[in-house]
Amino acid sequence: MTVYVYLTIRKKYKMEADKMKIIMLGAPGAGKGTQAKKIAAKYDIPHISTGDIFRANIKNGTELGKKAKTYMDQGLLVPDELVVDLVVDRVNQEDCSNGYVLDGFPRTIPQAEALDKALAAQGQKMDYAIDVDVPDENIVQRMGGRRACVGCGATYHLVYAAPKKEGICDTCGGELILRDDDKPETVQKRLGVYHEQTQPLIDYYTKAGILKTVDGTVAMEDVFGAIVSILGE
């Protein structure tokens, strides 16, 4: 009986683990990166960002890395086909056998279609697309509250992680500033690009039947609790 129960639990765990190929969606500043890291830690699966993939391949001098570097050195965007090749190469590595969390990819419909096609050729598919939904006005407010130290680079938030002394870094005593990237006009532009390019992915994954939406305006732990209720304990 003990052996049977053990095998049943192992089989159930494997089935759940096989269903952990996750895409994180959400506007810049929605908190999807934070949630992706928490998912990776809880379920013991890799948190994968395209930036990390680029850096690793270039550092290791892989063929794909060399190709990507030729574009990046010219200040050009790396073509979708090459980005997908890099992502697929990464998710086929041993540590991804139980699943993975993609953060920051895909960003456009062509990228999503190319990823699906490449995975389908290997008999695989994505299991979840989790959208951390936060209204634009909340994001502008959130990002406008960020402050960065000009000395050591430490980051703060006037509401959620305020320094002990206003305008002064707790770590090195440096001046805290509002970075250009976090200014309302810059954030609005980034949100405009997001809605134009990435928002259609919501419809794409809704049609695919894998989209799950969580309210990103609540506390960070509550957002994560909602995600866990979708993925399972």
Active-site positions read 32, 107, 146, 179, 190
Query: Regarding beta strands 176-177 and 146-149, do their DSSP bridges make them parallel or antiparallel, or are they unpaired?
Result: antiparallel
How far is it, in rounded angstroms, from Cα 148 to Cα 59?
28
The answer to whether 98 touches 15, Cβ cutoff 8 Å, is: no
How far is it, in rounded angstroms, from Cα 221 to Cα 29?
16
User: 147-155 — which CB contacts under 8 Å span 24+ positions?
Assistant: 147/176, 147/177, 147/178, 148/176, 148/177, 148/178, 148/179, 149/174, 149/175, 149/176, 150/174, 150/175, 150/176, 150/177, 151/175
**Nearest Cα to Cα of residue 21 among 53, 51, 47:** 47
Which residues are paired to 148 by β-bridges?
155, 177
